[in-house]
Structure 1
Amino acid sequence: MDVPELLESASLLVPEETATENDLTVRDIWDHLVRDEWEIALGLLEELGDAGSLPLAFWEELAEAADHLRLERSAAWCHWRCSEIRNGMIRADLTLLPAAEGRRTTPISGAGVLRPMWDIGCLSPTGEHAVSIAALWVENTPTLEPGGRATVRLVPLTPSHWTHIRPDQRIIMHENRSAAGTAVVLEVHLPDTAEPTG
C-alpha cells in the first residue's frame, strides 16, 4: 500500500467518538488526507491512537506510512506502540543516578534504543536477585541526562516476568551490576497471554 492508502486504512480503525485533547476526531484527519497533507494526518492519527486503545493493525499501518515518509521519530514511536501491544507496557517515574554516583556519564536516548536490565524483585533458582530486560522509551523528551527524572515506558522482553508488578512499586534499573536509576511504577498494562512464572 502507498502512504495515502495506509493512512486511510488506519483511520478506518479509529472509532468516530475517539477525540484528542484538542477535540480532533477522525473526520478532521480526512480533511488533511483529501489535501494530501500526509505528515499532518499521520501526526493526528498518532494523537488519536494515544487517546484510545486501538488495534495492532492501526499502529502497523502508521509505522509503515512513517517509514515511507522517512519520519524516523514517528516511525520509531509507531513501531514502539506495536511492541507495547504485543509485550505489554509499564509506565514509571524514572530517576537516573547523577554522573558522579553512577557509571553513566552521557544522556540516554529517549526513543526506545536502550534495553536495560531491571531488578523487579525476582529471584534466581539459587535465591539471588535476578534481573529482567525491558526496553525504555522516555516520554516527551529526546534524551534523559544522568541525574535527570522523567516518565518512561517500558516494554518487557519477557512479559511473564512482570506479572507481579503493581503501581507504586519501586524497581531498579541496571546497565551493569551497579544500579543506574530507580523507578516508581505508575501503570501496568500487560498482554492477556502473560503467564505468571513459577
Structure 2
Amino acid sequence: MDVPELLEAAGLLVPEESATENDITVADVWEYLTHDEWELALGLLEELADARPLPLGFWEDLATAAEQLRLEKSAAWCHWRSYEACHGIIRADLTLRPAAEARRRTPISGAGVLRPMWNIGNRTPTGDDPALDIARLWVERTPFLEPGGRATVRLAPLDPQRWRHLGPGQVITMHEDRSVAGSAVVLEVRRPAAPAA
C-alpha cells in the first residue's frame, strides 16, 4: 500500500467519537488526506491514538507510512507503540542521578535507543541478590534527558512477563552498571487488550 492508503486504513481504525485535548477528530484527518497533506494527517493520527488504545494494525500502518515518508522519529515512535499494543504500557517518572554522583556524564537519547537494566524487585535463582531486568527507554516529550534530569518515560521490557507484578506507585531503579543511575516511580501499567501472538 502507498502512504494515502496506509493512512486511510489507520484512520478507519479510530472510533469516530475519539478526540484529542484540542478537539481534533478523525474528520480533521480526512480533511488533510483529501488535500494530500500526508505528514499532517499522520501527526493527527498519532495524537488521536492517545485518546484511547488502538490495535496493532493501526500502529503498523502508521509506521509503514512514516517510513515511506522518511520520517525517522515518527516511524520509531509508531514501532514503539506497536510493541506496546502487543505487550502493554509501562510509564514511570524517572530521575537520573547527577553527573557528579553517577557514571553517566552525557544526556541519554529519548528515542528508545538506551537499554538499561532495572531493579524491579525480582531476585536471582538463589534469592540472595536482586536480578536486573532489561528494558528499552523512551523519554516522553524531549529528545534527551540530562544527568540529574527528570522526565516521564516509557519502558519496553526485553521479557515483559517478568514485569507483570509492577503497579503504580512502585519505585524501581535504573542501572547502567552495578551502581544506581536513576530511580523511577511507576505511573501506569496497562496490559495489552489481547495476548501477544
Query: Which TM-score band applies after superposition, normalised by the shorter structure?
Result: over 0.9
Q: In the TM superposition, what is the alpha-carbon distance from 1:109 to its structure 2 partner?
A: 0.4
Kept in 2: contact 1:87–1:158 (CA 8 A): no
Kept in 1: contact 2:54–2:85 (CA 8 A): no
Q: Which runs of 5+ in 1 are unaligned?
A: none
Indicate yes or no: 2:134 matched with 1:133: yes
Cα RMSD of the aligned pairs, angstroms, is: 1.1
Kept in 2: contact 1:138–1:152 (CA 8 A): yes
Which residue of structure 2 aligns with residue 158 of structure 1? 159
SS state at 1:14 partner: coil
Kept in 2: contact 1:108–1:114 (CA 8 A): yes
CA displacement 1:74-100 (0-9 Å, x = unmatched): 111100000111222211000001011
Cα distance in 2 between the residues matched to 1:84 and 1:59: 10
Q: Which runs of 5+ in 2 are unaligned?
A: none
CA displacement 1:17-38 (0-9 Å, x = unmatched): 0011111111111010000000
Cα distance in 2 between the residues matched to 1:155 and 1:85: 11
Letter in 2 for 1:163: R
Trace 1:139-178 onto structure 2 (pairs within 5 A): 139-178=140-179
Letter in 2 for 1:114: L
CA displacement 1:49-107 (0-9 Å, x = unmatched): 11111100000000000000001111111000001112222110000010110000010
Cα distance in 1 between the residues matched to 2:106 and 2:115: 16
Which residue of structure 1 aligns with residue 97 of structure 2? 97
Letter in 2 for 1:119: N
- How many aligned residue pairs are there? 194
Indicate yes or no: 2:69 matched with 1:69: yes
Which residue of structure 2 aligns with residue 60 of structure 1? 60
Which residue of structure 1 aligns with residue 44 of structure 2? 44
Q: In the TM superposition, what is the alpha-carbon distance from 1:190 to its structure 2 partner?
A: 2.8
Letter in 1 for 2:25: T
Query: TM-score under structure 2 normalisation?
Result: 0.96
